[in-house]
Amino acid sequence: TLGELAAGMAHELNQPLTALLANTQAVSRLLRDEPPDLALVQRAIDDAVQQARRAADVVGRLRRAVERPDARTIAQPMALELPLRSALHLLEPEFRRRQVLTQVESDGAPQVMADPVAVEQIVHNLLMNALHVLEQVPVDARRIRLWLGVEQGQGVLRVTDSGPGIAADVLPRLFQPFFSTRPGGMGLGLSLCETLATGMGGALTAANAEPRGAAFTLQLPLVMP
Q: How many CA atoms lie within 13 A of 23 on its CB side?
A: 21
**C-alpha–C-alpha distance, residues 108 and 87, integer Å:** 20
Nearer CB in complex with ligand ADP: 24/208? 208
The reply to whether 133 sits near ligand ADP by the rule CB under 6 A is yes
Phi, psi of 8 (to 5 degrees): -65, -40
Q: Choose, by CB under 6 A, the member of 75, 146, 148, 166 that binds ligand ADP.
A: 166
Q: Choose, by CB under 6 A, the member of 81, 106, 185, 222 that binds ligand ADP.
A: 185
The reply to whether 187 sits near ligand ADP by the rule CB under 6 A is yes
For residues 165 and 212, is the Cβ–Cβ distance under 8 A? yes
The reply to whether 155 sits near ligand ADP by the rule CB under 6 A is no
Q: Choose, by CB under 6 A, the member of 8, 16, 83, 163 that binds ligand ADP.
A: 163
Strands 143-151 and 101-106: parallel
- Residue 131 CB, nearest distance to ligand ADP (Å)? 9
- Provide the β-strand partners of residue 221: 154
Number of residues that bind ligand ADP (CB under 6 A): 20
The reply to whether 143 sits near ligand ADP by the rule CB under 6 A is no
The reply to whether 179 sits near ligand ADP by the rule CB under 6 A is yes
Q: Choose, by CB under 6 A, the member of 15, 23, 111, 129 that binds ligand ADP.
A: 129
**C-alpha–C-alpha distance, residues 32 and 190, integer Å:** 42
**C-alpha–C-alpha distance, residues 162 and 172, integer Å:** 20
**C-alpha–C-alpha distance, residues 24 and 30, integer Å:** 10
Q: How far is CA 32 from CA 144, 163, 177, in A?
A: 39, 42, 45
**C-alpha–C-alpha distance, residues 79 and 215, integer Å:** 21
User: What ranges in 31-166 are assigned the alpha helix state H?
Assistant: 38-67, 81-97, 116-134
Query: How many other CB atoms are there within 10 angstroms of residue 65's CB atom?
Result: 18
The reply to whether 19 sits near ligand ADP by the rule CB under 6 A is no
The reply to whether 186 sits near ligand ADP by the rule CB under 6 A is yes
- Residue 201 CB, nearest distance to ligand ADP (Å)? 22
- Side chain identity, residue 186: M
- Residue 88 CB, nearest distance to ligand ADP (Å)? 16
Nearer CB in complex with ligand ADP: 129/154? 129
Q: Which stretch binds ligand ADP (CB under 6 A): 35-43, 57-65, 105-113, 173-181?
A: 173-181
Nearer CB in complex with ligand ADP: 80/131? 131
Residues in contact with ligand ADP by the rule CB under 6 A: 129-130, 133, 161, 163, 166, 170, 174, 179-182, 185-191, 214
